[in-house]
Amino acid sequence: MRVNRKLTDGIPFVVTTHLNLNISGQSREIVLEKVVPENFVAMNLKSPLPARLEPDGKLRFQARPGIWRIEIETRHLGPLDSLPFVEKGEPWPAEEIWVFEAQAQLRLVWVEGVASIDPQQTTLPDEWKNLPAYRMTKSDILTLKEKRRGDSNPAPDQLQLYREWWLDFNGGAYTLHDQIRGTFHRSWRLEMNPPVALGRISIDGKDQFITSLPGNKKWGVEIRQGRADLDADSRIPTGLRKVPAIGWDEDFQRVSGVLHLPPGWRALAILGVDEAPQTWIHQWTLWDFFLALITALAFFKLFGRGWGILALLTFALTFPEKNNPQWLWLAVIAGIALLTLVPQGKFRTLIRVYQWAMLLILIVFSIPFVAEQLRIGLFPVLENPAPSGGRLNDAEAQPVAPPEAPKIPPSAQQEIHLEKTAEEYERPATPMREMNRNARDNDGIFSGDIHQNISGKKLSKSESFADSSLTLKLGQQRPGTKVQTGPGLPRWSWNRVNLTWNGPVEKSQTLHFLLLSPFVNLCLALLRVVFLIVLLLGLLFPSSARWPRFLKPRAGALLMALCLAVTAGFWPQAAKADFPSDELLGQLRERLLENPPCYPDCASISRAFLTVNQNTLQLRLEVNSQSTGAIPLPGNLKEWAPSQVLVDGKAVPALSRPPSDANLWLTVAPGVHQILLAGKLPDRDSLRISLPMKPHRLDAQLSGWTLEGVQEDGTVEDNLQLIRAADNLRQGTPSAAGAQVSLPAFVYVERELVLGLTWEIVTRVTRVTPVGTPVVLEFPLLPGESVITPDIRVSEGKVTVNMSPAASEMEWRSVLTEKPKIDLKSGNASAWMEVWRVNVAPIWHVEFSGIPFLYPANPESGWLPEWRPWPGETLAIEVSRPEGVPGQTVTIDESIVEVIPGLRFTEIKLNLALRSSLGGQHVVTLPPGADLQSVSIDGRMQAIRPEAQKLTLPLTPGSQNVEIRWQQSFGLGWFFRAPEIDLGAPSVNSRIHFELPSSRWILLTGGPRMGPVVLFWSFAIVILLPALGLSRTRLTPLGIVSWFLLGVGILPFPQRLPLAFVLVVSWLLLLGWRCRKDLPPWLFDLRQIFLAGFTLLALLALGAGIYQGLIGVPDMKISGNGSTAGFLTWFQDHSPGILPRPWVLSVPLYVYRIAMLLWALWLAWALLRWLRWGWKCF
């Protein structure tokens, strides 16, 4: 005889003994002494021989020759710290092999006092060889030293944070959006520290009730999910430069985020973060520092201290900017430095030419840089030509609809060859997200494993056996609870600064945002322009240098040329649309992927005939298909799959299977087809055949099997169940009929406290020992507990549990009165062991004291603490209800006002995207004189009329889109302003659109900073600079007024016509230069021919300009936020109840016509004088 024992740590402590017997000789009765160890109770006996356990622990069995194994399961009556080896004498062996199966979720123990051996070198069963093994001999004592019980010191939370900061347009506050992912191990409440004001938090996409604990100013929520899938919206109400890096009362393993800055704002530096590459400081490289210092030092050596300091300041301001000509400065300085060393001669002349060439290139590259600095400094909204700020993407503006079931593309399918059978495919692993979602329907965190060790089977739903109705109550809130909807998130993106931390971030860390406001950036832009121009003028007019004669123009001409070039660089570029558009591509894609008209009923199974004999199954299907497509076949790879498939008598070589689907799919053509599925039956007594596409009728012919799932009229359910008949059961399984077992009953009592809107307790009694003996016991109730399940006998505060010999479990429900403290105490009876679980809704906050709960095997599955007490141990549960915090219950996420003014009336449409947690009513105040046309909510018209300009909207909990249309009795005048609209609550993402007719000449606009800009007047001011320079050249008779009128008159022309201004200016200057220059005869004739041709081009340009000005439409250079001459749009990130009221100053188009007529008459009269002067010069 060989003895092997498996010691399973748990409550109770279980010892499974294998008696391996080699018997020879005659059949006889054998009695073994001390089979059940001291202080142990037998629970199960498995023997292929007739056997019986005596009350005194002896084993009596009928022996016959052969090799046999008898298995005995016993449990200890209390806690166990050591187990000695007991020498029993013959026929017991002098040594035994023990293995120890630890349960780390219950406690962490170390085995001491015995030496371990290699289990692979023993005769242990294969399923025990993966456990630590020990050889036990005389006087050996196996000692268990407990290091930790349960989850007394949980691991830190493993959380990751991605945060987005939005700075308000006025710079007064931040809006935060947090995405938290990871796992909660230790914290079951998440709180935000001041000064961050938590406005909204959602878990798994559902908004939660934000609360605060009594005496605590921190706002937060109760967490009941082990896996963190959390989104939160917050506000920092003050524009602090020092803000918390996290704000949450938690440390995070990884943190990253994005800082969104509005137009005109710029990040100088951000302190407290590891990486922020988009800040001004981080844009400097070591090479930039070297180049700026070496160039400034060259200026200092060549021109003196003052110019060196000016150069250093200029380079410090310009080098980090885009499109700055930093390399050209060094090239120019190199030429000037060489001139100081090279003596007179041809080489010096060559160097001088190189110097002026580099200087000219520097000026050419500086012109667009200066223009861009002025344009962005004055109008920050023009920084991004195609911004996403203020203009929503389609994905942001439209609600996300649930996706339809995707089609299976051939490229995503797997080829399944029919030669394989269903048994050859392993059961696929459950995805993590499916495990999380179905955690309460699986085998539990820990108890299922214990039950399997004891009784050989797992209890279903052992982690939480509360049904869906109780789970639903856990997610409900008390009547009157105001779930906060938050401040609303901005939907704009302008300048982004990516923030990254390279390691864990503690909750105490802070950030220092060093930001530059729009005014500061404007001042810096002006300084860059001024310093750059002064530095360029210093290079053009050095005191120690002389210009070549052919490059010595007047200073006024140089200033004119520079200003004229800046004006050209300031000119907006024409927008170019790409073709095809995204919308057209989307339409084409929808057409290509459009389902046939018959979808989803393009195929059906009209009839089916099932034939089953002893070991084979055949299924004939009649399939009707209206189009070519794939159909799922009955069965799947987990239960039964066909080994042969015939379609209309022809074999199909291969089928397809999507990666995440266990069903096989067959492609069929249009028409009626006969499909035959055949295959061997697995070696089982029952078989389930799934029907993903159910036939309309099924007939069956069975031999040795019974069929379930088919009704009398031939209609079928979702699955067919085949069960072998009694005379067809499989042979060869060892029978235990001879084992006569009379063992005391032992049960598990699992109690789950469900603390929701109502407090309930679900109690389940599960038999652990084999069936065959009745279970009778009395289980005490908690104080204040009342059983509500019928037919449950209660007497003197105890439930009488009476289970028949065939029953395996019993369950009842009870209600519990609410009280601040719940005391649980395990009974001292040896007939059961208790399991406690507490399922708490987020409306309650609980604190535990007493024994620690078990360490969860899967922390992501959720917060459901479990305790396994020894008899007499207690647990105290203190329950409190957090108080709600103030917050919005109605949030306006977006408002769009479309204003279409006419001659006498104005049509206005208001679209609102709202979220409400309570529903009810919301009042919107319309402007005086509003004539309401229609109101619709989510596309459904509403019979609502305003009362005293107040429009009351009925709201339901959730998101809804509201559209309000009305008319105003005023039309478009010279000054038009949007009417006053009061939304009744603060809002975010306010957009106002003006659709103006083409018969208006827009002069000025005003409103929120993120809006249109009329650049005409800026260009007109810039025109003054070249006009002043041209008037001082004395080459032409034109004064500053004539030059200014010429430029301003051509300015409203389309994009290509302002080049006529440059052409006319060049023509007049050439004529003036002609008056003062005498050339050789051959060069004189060539110049005359050139001037004649150039004069013709200039006159044609002027004629085209006059023609376009008289019949064309003015181009006022309107740009910004996607605005055009006929469509003006403004955007405001945060608005109080009253929306912004932008305005526009415009006049009828005939005013422009009159102005252009006067300008054309003046130009014609002036042109006569210019031609007379030009003829004299010619």
Nearest CA among 347, 664, 313, 380 for reference residue 516: 380
Residues 1103 and 995 in one domain: no
Nearest CA among 853, 851, 983, 975 for reference residue 923: 983
* pLDDT tens digits, one per residue of 600-636: 678 889 889 999 987 888 999 999 888 888 888 888 7
Q: Burial, 629: exposed, middle or buried (Cβ in 10 Å; 0-12, 13-18, 19+)? A: buried
Looking at residue 424, its pLDDT comes to 35
Rounded Cα gap, residues 27 and 481, in angstroms: 77
Residues 1020 and 1168 in one domain: yes
Query: HSE-up of 1076 (CA within 13 Å, CB side)?
Result: 9
| Of residues 1107 and 325, more confidently modeled | 325
Looking at residue 448, its pLDDT comes to 35
Looking at residue 498, its pLDDT comes to 94
Of 149, 180, 201, the one marking the end of a domain is 149
Residues 793 and 905 in one domain: no
Residues 897 and 871 in one domain: no
Q: Which two tokens stand for residue 1064?
A: 């006319």
pLDDT of residue 4 exceeding 90, the answer is: yes
Looking at residue 543, its pLDDT comes to 53
Residues 754 and 857 in one domain: yes
Of 884, 919, 935, the one marking the end of a domain is 884
pLDDT of residue 207 exceeding 80, the answer is: yes
CB 74 within 8 A of CB 37: yes
Helix (H, G, I), strand (E, B) or coil at 484: coil
Name the residue type at position 39: N
Helix (H, G, I), strand (E, B) or coil at 993: strand
Residues 667 and 721 in one domain: yes
Looking at the 3D structure of the chain, how many domains does it have? 6
Looking at residue 399, its pLDDT comes to 33
Looking at residue 1141, its pLDDT comes to 94
Residues 123 and 178 in one domain: no
**Relative orientation angle of helices 1059-1075 and 1081-1111, to the nearest 10 degrees:** 150
Mean pLDDT, rounded, for 48-55: 86
- Tell me the C-alpha to C-alpha distance, in Å, between residue 807 and each of 267, 770, 775: 73, 10, 9
**Which position has the token pair 């069975």?**
702
- Whether 702 maps to a domain, the answer reads yes
CB 60 within 8 A of CB 36: no
pTM: 0.70
Looking at residue 894, its pLDDT comes to 93
- Whether 630 maps to a domain, the answer reads yes
- Tell me the C-alpha to C-alpha distance, in Å, between residue 76 and each of 15, 253, 1031, 1119: 8, 44, 111, 85
Q: How confident is the model at residue 106 (pLDDT cuts 50, 70, 90)?
A: confident
Looking at residue 1059, its pLDDT comes to 67
Residues 716 and 796 in one domain: no
| 306: Cβ contacts below 8 Å, ≥ 6 apart | none
Q: Which two tokens stand for residue 282?
A: 């981080």
CB 714 within 8 A of CB 698: yes
* Average pLDDT over the chain, rounded to an integer: 80
Residues 1026 and 1064 in one domain: yes
- Whether 533 maps to a domain, the answer reads no
User: Strand order of the sheet with strand 809-816?
Assistant: 785-787, 809-816, 759-767, 747-755, 832-840, 866-867
| 205: Cβ contacts below 8 Å, ≥ 6 apart | 229
Within 10 angstroms of residue 938's Cβ, the number of other Cβ atoms is: 12
- The alpha carbons of the chain give a radius of gyration, in whole angstroms, of 44
Expressed as residue numbers, the domain containing 509 is 159-282+492-516
Least confident residue range of 308-317, 325-334, 464-473, 712-721: 464-473
pLDDT of residue 255 exceeding 90, the answer is: yes
Looking at residue 860, its pLDDT comes to 62
- The enclosing domain of 661 has a CATH number of 2.60.40
Compute the Cα dihedral for 1079, 1081, 1085, 1088 and give only its sign.
positive
Looking at residue 1075, its pLDDT comes to 65
Rounded Cα gap, residues 1013 and 429, in angstroms: 60
Q: How confident is the model at residue 224 (pLDDT cuts 50, 70, 90)?
A: confident
Rounded Cα gap, residues 199 and 190, in angstroms: 14
Name the residue type at position 924: V
Residues 985 and 1067 in one domain: no
- Whether 55 maps to a domain, the answer reads yes
Task: Give the pairing type, strands 747-755 and 832-840.
Answer: parallel
- Whether 201 maps to a domain, the answer reads yes
* pLDDT tens digits, one per residue of 914-950: 999 888 899 999 999 899 999 999 999 998 899 888 9
Residues 954 and 846 in one domain: no
CB 504 within 8 A of CB 251: yes
Residues 129 and 20 in one domain: yes
pLDDT of residue 438 exceeding 50, the answer is: no
- Whether 588 maps to a domain, the answer reads no
Looking at residue 1049, its pLDDT comes to 76
CB 768 within 8 A of CB 762: no
* pLDDT tens digits, one per residue of 694-738: 898 888 888 888 887 787 777 887 778 787 775 655 443 333 333
Rounded Cα gap, residues 745 and 307, in angstroms: 101
Of 149, 174, 199, the one marking the end of a domain is 149
Looking at residue 1140, its pLDDT comes to 93
Q: Burial, 1050: exposed, middle or buried (Cβ in 10 Å; 0-12, 13-18, 19+)? A: buried
- The enclosing domain of 987 has a CATH number of 2.60.40.1730
- Whether 552 maps to a domain, the answer reads no
Q: How confident is the model at residue 477 (pLDDT cuts 50, 70, 90)?
A: low
Task: Give, in degrees to the nearest 5, the angle at Cα 420 between 416 and 426.
Answer: 85
Query: Backbone phi, then psi, for 208, in 5-degree steps?
Result: -110, 160
- Whether 532 maps to a domain, the answer reads no
pLDDT of residue 581 exceeding 90, the answer is: no
Rounded Cα gap, residues 185 and 155, in angstroms: 6
Mean pLDDT, rounded, for 264-273: 91
